[in-house]
Structure 1
Amino acid sequence: MPELPGVEHHFIDVRGLRMHVAVAGSGEPLVLLHGWPQHWWEWRRVIGPLAEHYRVICPDLRGLGWTGAPPEGYRPEVMADDIAGLLDRMGVHRFRLVGHDWGGLVGYQLALRSPDRVSHYIAVNTASPFLRPTPRVLLNGVRVWHIPLNAAPLIGRRMSGSVVPRWALRHWTYRSAALTSEDARIFLAQFRDPARVRATVSYYRNIVRRELPLLLVGKYRWSRLTVPVLVLSGDRDPLLSAGQMTGFDRWATDLRVESMVDVGHFPPIEDPDSFVAGVLGFCGDPADRDCVTPDTVLG
């Protein structure tokens, strides 16, 4: 477990899943959900500045980091239940939420299903759940070649356990100097565990077999986002075009879009100052007390 000043680590049982969560600061809760191939360490450059304003809660998603890696449950809905259950155990009801990549898909689920709990949601370099199969979207599918490769029979475990995560960390980062060799080592170490490699294969097989087909036939066409949403993205992201992250105004009550200049797929790593400014600018002053929660209880 890498160490970061001011951060506490807790392991909490949530419906039989042993979840790891890193916590820092005090005040109103701000939940940060990481992407792949990462874990809570993705937020290391922004935890300190954000903890000056909020109680920052950084869980590891199912199958990644130091959270358990069971054989099943790698669907956004299930992982949203994991996070909701974790926050219940911590005594947190209402919170601000940031989700990146896979954590962004989980964040959309929480915002759609629990608008009474999520006061603000920031989706970072994350595909929209309202994605439609337009020609542009289909053509952009070549950008996410890693999805079928990670999901592939026979070679999927080898690819997702070594080749693809190494490629992702190196080539999805536009500001390459921002991701140190030590950061890469910490992220890649988790894939020495066969259970976590199996979890990654499950993540992406679920995308190919279930989530993407349902998305493209309009799974969320009757849904509506009533939570204020900010889509925050790096303009140099090699995976997702702006059209795949935005364009769902008619399904959202309050939608804003901001782009970070010369930033790739990992904004909190590549430009932490601008990222923190974006979070604070959108979520507002915690002194407004719109997210009052009971005292945190850690199990």
Structure 2
Amino acid sequence: MTAARTATTDTARTATTATRPLPPAPGVTHRFVTADGIRFHVAEAGEGEPVLLLHSFPQHWYAWHHLLPLLAADHRLICPDLRGSGWSDAPPHGYDTDTRVTDVLALMDTLDLDRVRLIGHEWGSWLGFMLCLRAPGRFSHHLALNITHPWPLHRRLLPNAWRYWHTAPLETPLLGRRLLRHSPGFTRQLLRRGTADPAVWSPEELDEYARSTAEPAHARAAEQLHRAYALHDIPRLVRGRYRRQRLTTPTVILAGERDATLPPSVLAGADRHTDRLRVQVIPGAGHLLHQERPDLVAEAAGALFHG
């Protein structure tokens, strides 16, 4: 699978998508498919059992380019740009978690994926938990990077809420989109701050994500994504929305020992809601494990998927 391919099921677009060239990634192919009324860009690599990889903000499919070569020999790796990111459509609305879950399930249907293994990072991992709770039969395993589960202990989470200071301007109407459009250094700094060693980033990688989030439709989408989480997901957590739900999908949370946003200490509390989840802490790593230690992410994926 070394030649690029593009397959389009529908030429209609709900919003202007990116026209920038795709960043290079050897062995990766690209196509566009329409699902849930959205034109999605999907990057793929490898052959074998399907693995769905869900990126976070402010990244897109390219977030996985260090990990893909480590897993492609044994897996078909499917990396969509989620609604409002990368080269997928960025409609004016629909950035709440429930809609994004529906997006992913519809995309799986369009791609004829009955059941997949799942890898996600932060926002993508949170989406992964919601997918596993809504449609557990469609996900055989879930590797969640740098995210908490749906049953955090408030006494541990609340003292660390200050670590999410950067979300306050992003979720503020009009301010969030202006910040991303006109201050690309903010995006670069978020990514640098997220890693224990900022040297893991190349200038080209930082520039790619800064340019992507600065596009008007993407900046608006990011603002709506953060605001929807603040208005819907946080109140659900406070009210204990998920306390009657049980996770049946075998899941591993990989945490960075030096994660400045989500320290491993907040990851307790799921015992009463699942016996299929365990936490593994990566020494010396931060909040972007797929960027910092793709080798250990690949090792954890192999152990989970084939253990």
Q: TM-score, normalised by structure 1?
A: 0.91
Question: Structure 2 unaligned runs (5+)?
Answer: 1-21
State the shift of 1:131 in Å. 2.4
- Contact 2:185 2:210 (C-alpha < 8 Å) held by counterparts: no
Tell me which amino acid in the other structure corresponds to 1:258.
Q
Residues of 1 paired with 2:97 and 2:258: CA distance? 26
Question: Of the two structures, which has the highest relative contact order with CA contacts closer than 8 Å and spacing of 6 or more?
Answer: 1
2:122 corresponds to 1:101 = yes
2:102 corresponds to 1:68 = no
Residues of 1 paired with 2:203 and 2:78: CA distance? 25
1:89 and 1:109, CA in 2 relative to 1: closer, same or farther beyond 3 A? same
- Contact 2:255 2:282 (C-alpha < 8 Å) held by counterparts: yes
Q: SS at the partner of 1:250?
A: coil
Aligned length: 284
- Contact 2:267 2:279 (C-alpha < 8 Å) held by counterparts: no
Which of 111, 133, 140 does residue 119 from structure 1 map onto? Answer: 140
Structure 1 segments, 4+ long, off by >6 Å, are none
Q: Which residue of 2 aligns with 1:27?
A: 48
Residues of 2 paired with 1:227 and 1:282: CA distance? 11
Alignment root-mean-square deviation, CA: 1.4
Deviations 1:38-73 (A, max 9, x none): 011111011011111100011111111111111111
Q: Which residue of 2 aligns with 1:270?
A: 292
State the shift of 1:187 in Å. 1.2
Q: TM-score, normalised by structure 2?
A: 0.89
Which of 219, 232, 251 does residue 254 from structure 2 map onto? Answer: 232
Tell me which amino acid in the other structure corresponds to 1:229.
T
2:67 corresponds to 1:46 = yes
Decide which moves more: 146-155 or 12-21. 146-155
Within-5 A mapping of 1:99-178:
99-134=120-155, 136-161=156-181, 162-178=184-200
Residues of 2 paired with 1:153 and 1:77: CA distance? 21
Which of 233, 236, 259 does residue 211 from structure 1 map onto? Answer: 233
Residues of 1 paired with 2:149 and 2:197: CA distance? 25
Q: SS at the partner of 1:164?
A: helix
Residues of 1 paired with 2:69 and 2:174: CA distance? 42
- Contact 1:62 1:79 (C-alpha < 8 Å) held by counterparts: yes
Deviations 1:165-193 (A, max 9, x none): 22211111112121111111111111231
Residues of 2 paired with 1:41 and 1:164: CA distance? 19
Residues of 1 paired with 2:193 and 2:79: CA distance? 25
